[in-house]
Structure 1
Amino acid sequence: MIDINKKASNGEVPREGVLDTIGSTPLIHLCRYLGTADIQLYAKMEAFNPGGSAKDRPARAMIEEALRAGTIDRNTTIIESTSGNMGIGLAQACCYYGLPLICVVDPFAQEQNVAIMQAYGARIERVTRPLQGAFLKARLARVMELLNEIPHSFWPNQYANIKNPLSHEQGTVQEIDEALNGEIDYLFVATSSTGTARGCRDYLQKRGRRTKVIAVDAEGSVLFGGLAGRRRIPGLGAGHVSVLAAGQKFDDVKRVNDLDCVVGCRRMVKYEAILTGGSAGGVLEAIRAMIPELRTKVCAAILHDSGTRYLDTIYSDQWVESELGCSIEKLQARIEQPGQAGRVAGQRGSRFTPHLREYVKEHATI
C-alpha cells in the first residue's frame, strides 16, 4: 500500500479531494504592467483555485461549517444569490458533498459561468427585472421566496456569513503576508460583498501591519456612499449594501468604470501574458492611476478570477464597442497609454535588488 503521508520528490502530498486544493494560489511578481521599475507589484492569482476564483474559499468554508454545525445535511437544498463565481464555488462544494443547490442569477451573469454551475448539477433561477433599481435586491427577494417555498432549505448568505471574510483572513491574505515577509505597503482588493477586503484588513490590523488596504469599487456601486448607476462588469461593486459591507472602512476607496476594467484586462494580456477577469482589470488600473504615490513601495493585488469567463464580453471588441461605446482604436490608445509616465528623480528607499532593477529596466519599459 502507498504511504500517502510520504512526500513525493517535489514535496507534494496527495490531497483529500478537490476541495483540499483550494488556497495556496500563486503570487506573481508583475514586472511589466506598470511600465516602471520603482514599484514592486505582486498579484495573488485566485484563478488557480479549482473552481477558478477567490470565491472557492468562502464557498467551502460556509458549506463545511454548516455541515459541522448540523445546520444542513444531504437532504438540505442550498440556495444562494450569485453573480457567477460564488455560484461556481458553491456548486463545486455542493456537488462534492451531495447537496442540491439553487443559484439565483440576473441577466449580467456570464453565460459560461451559468453553464459551469449547471455542469456541477446546480439548478438556475433567473431574475429578469431589477427591484428598486437593483438586480441584487431582486436576486435576494427571489432567494427569500425560494426559502419559503422549499422545505429544509438553507441560505449560506455570502453577504452576512462571517465565514466569508474569515476564509480570506485565515487564507488569502495570510498567504500573501507570509510570502512577502510582512513587507506590504499597499494591498488592493476589489469589493462587492466586501468579504475579501474585510478579511484582509482584519488580519493585517491584528498583526500590527502598516499596510494600507485600498478597496476598489465600481462607479455606479452604492458601497461606501456611492450613487447607484449602470454597471456591466459582474463581481465588482453592489446595488445594495450588505450586512458584511455596512459600516466597513478601509484606508482608501478607488472607483473604476467598466472601461477601466476592460483596459486593465487587455493590458494585462499584452504585457504580462495573463488573462484576468473583470474586477482584476479594475484593480490593476486603480493601481496604475496611483503610480506617483506608489513609487518605491511594495504593492499586492488580489486578482479574483480568470479572463476565460469573459471572452464574449471584456475580450470581445464587438461587445466593448456596442456596450461601452468605445471604438477599438480608442481602446488600444488607452491600453498603450502610460499610467503616470516618467520617473521621479531622487527616489530613495527602494527595496529592489540591483539585479532585479536591471532586469525590469530591460524588460518592462513600455
Structure 2
Amino acid sequence: MRRLGSTRGGGRTGRLTAAVACGAALAALTVPAAEARPLAQGGPAKASPGRAGVHWAVKDTGTPQIRFRGLAAVDRRTAWLAGTGGTVLRTTDGGTHWRNVSPPGASDLEFRDVTAFDARRAVVLAIGEGEASRVYRTDDGGATWTESFRNTDPKGFYDCLAFFDRRHGLALGDPVDGKFRILSTADGGRSWRVLPSDGMPPALDGEAGFAASGQCLVPAGPKDVWLATGGGAHARVLHSADRGLTWTAADTPIPAGDPAKGVFALAFRDRTHGIAVGGDYRPGRPSPASTAVTGDGGRTWRPAAAPPPAYRSGAAWLPHSRTAALAVGPTGTDLTTDGGRSWRTLDTGSYDTVACTPDLSCWAAGEQGRAARLER
C-alpha cells in the first residue's frame, strides 16, 4: 500500500521466571516521556537507558543511509534486517558485526519484510507496483539468492509476508479487483501461488495494507493468521483459520477514513489474544487511539484505556509473557504490562519494527540504519 516516505534459559520454568523478571525490569525502568533521552536526530543512534538499566543497546550497522522496516530476530545472537536500496544485513554475534548479504542487482528495490528460519535460511519481500513486488530466498546465509516470485500484475502491490512454520507461509497483497490478494507457499518460499479469492470479503473503498514494519500479516499456530488494514472507512483486521483460504473481517476502534490512517501492525501471543497498533503516520498528526486489544481471536476489538502518545508501526509480545508487550514507532517505544490495556513510554528514539525471540531477546530496527537489542 503506502510507501511511508519512500518508492519480525534452560527449561520451561526457567524461561517463565526469566520472562517475569524481564517484564518486571521493564516496568521498573518506565519513566515519563519528559525524562526519556531521545535518540540523536540526523546522526548515529544512541542508547537510552532507563533507571533499572534495561535499554535499547544500539548496534552499529554502518548503514546510516538505510531505513530498515524488515526485521527477523532468530535469537539473541542472530538477526536479519531488510531495508531500502535492496539492502539485507545479517548478524550472528548479537549485532557486534553486520554482514551485507543483499541480493545482487536489487539496489532499486524496497525490501520491507524478512522471515528467517535460522542463520542461513531467510526469505525477503520487496514491495511496489507491478514487478517491483518480488520475493527472494537464501539457503546459505545470503551468499546466494534465488528470486522465487515476481509480481506480473500491474495492479498488484505486496506489503508483507508471514510463515506458520519452515514450509508454509503467506504474503499479503493490496486489493485487486476489489479483494485482498494472498500468495501462498508450501515449500519454504521456493515457489508461490495466488490463492483463490472466493473466501475473501470485499475490500472497502480505499482499503489496503501498510508496508510499514513487516507486521501487517501475522500468524499464530499452524493455521491461524490475521491481516491489518487501513485507508478505508474503518480500520479492520481480517482473520483466517485455514491458512488464508477463507477470511472474516472485524472493525477496530483505531482511527481510519484517510489513506494515512489505520492498523499498521499486529501481534498475537496465541490464537486468542492480540494487539493492534497504528494511527496516523504523518509526522505531527495526533493519534489518540493508536492501539486496540482482542481476547477472542480478533472477532471484537477494544481500545486501550491509556494508549501510546502517538502513531506506532510495530509491536511484539515479550517472550513467554501473557501480559507484557512492546510497541514502537518514529517517536518512541512503549510498554504494556497488562495485556495492552495501558501503555507507558520507555524511550523516545525512532524505530519502525520490533521482534522478540524465545531465548528472551528483543530487537528493533528503523531509520538511519538503526538496529538495537534490548539489554540490561
Q: Give the number of the structure whose alpha-carbon radius of gyration is greater.
A: 1
| TM-score normalised to structure 2 length | 0.26
Structure number with the higher helix fraction is 1
